[in-house]
Structure 1
Amino acid sequence: MKFLMNENGFTGNLPYGELLVSSNEEYGFRPYQLLVSSLAVCSGGVMRKVLERMRMPAEDIQIEVKEVIRIEEEANLVSKIHLHFILKGQIDPAKMPRVMELTRKNCSMVRSVEHSIEIIESYEVV
């Protein structure tokens, strides 16, 4: 990866395309948004695979970021993120604690920050 400075932030030229990053969301994604997005989508992707392996494929998974706590006095450090998964499909609620456990265990992004950011995960099956 390579990021080049522009007048409003940085541009990354990645294999999929151009990524604009800026502290001003009028000009690109804010770094904390990318951090939260990485955690949410990595978890969702792992959850999808776990459900498939448990023979309960999800028809749909939505992820709501219920809360992001940042500590202003510490350079807006992200200290807590609450991810809420809304699952649709023939999913056995009794198996969901194991699904959640395996999702957390196998999400590389969550594992990378688990000792520095409190990650809360909740779910509902609709």
Structure 2
Amino acid sequence: MIKIELERVAGDFGFAAKDAYGHVVHTDSSPESGGINFGVRPMQLLLMGLGSCSGIDIVSILKKQRQTVDAFTMKIEGGREPGKEPSIWQDITIVFELTGDIDPDKARKACELSMDKYCSVAETLRRAGGNLKWSVKVNGK
């Protein structure tokens, strides 16, 4: 069982979330909702989790294939359900950008395996009705 502790530490909505290893993430609401910009919005944290989860998968797969990943960035955009409360992620697009001595076909396959088979965050968002789209660029192409 995973255990997370949260403590309100800044303003009305600023929390420090700590895992069992002592790693801390700060969250907050937007200033428009009464927050003070102390940390990441909780819904944005879901997209960060998606990127981190898939990134770990992709690098792991490519390392097993003896591909050299010198740099790896992701651009993630999400759109939420309009006019609903609560409003969940409806459309999410990820662009994976890898640089190094990497076979583009292997990179595409690694991304596909992560997004369709291994990434638990992607599957969680899909089961909630999210539409996930992705593309991959290797060495700018």
TM-score range, shorter chain: 0.7 to 0.9
Report the Cα offset of residue 54 of structure 1: 1.3
Report the Cα offset of residue 48 of structure 1: 0.3
Partners of 1:45 and 1:17 in 2: how far apart? Answer: 18
Runs of 4+ in 1 over 3 A off after TM superposition: none
CA root-mean-square deviation = 1.8
Report the Cα offset of residue 68 of structure 1: 1.0
Identity score, percent: 25
Partners of 1:97 and 1:108 in 2: how far apart? Answer: 19
Q: Unmatched 5+ residue regions in structure 1? A: none
Partners of 1:96 and 1:39 in 2: how far apart? Answer: 18
Match of 1:41 in 2: 52
Q: Unmatched 5+ residue regions in structure 2? A: 31-35
Moved more, 93-102 or 50-59: 93-102
Matches within 5 A, 1:75-86: 75=85, 76-86=87-97
TM-score for both structures, normalised by structure 2: 0.78
Please point out which of 61, 74, 82 is paired with 1:72.
Answer: 82
TM-score for both structures, normalised by structure 1: 0.87
2:98 is the counterpart of 1:92? no
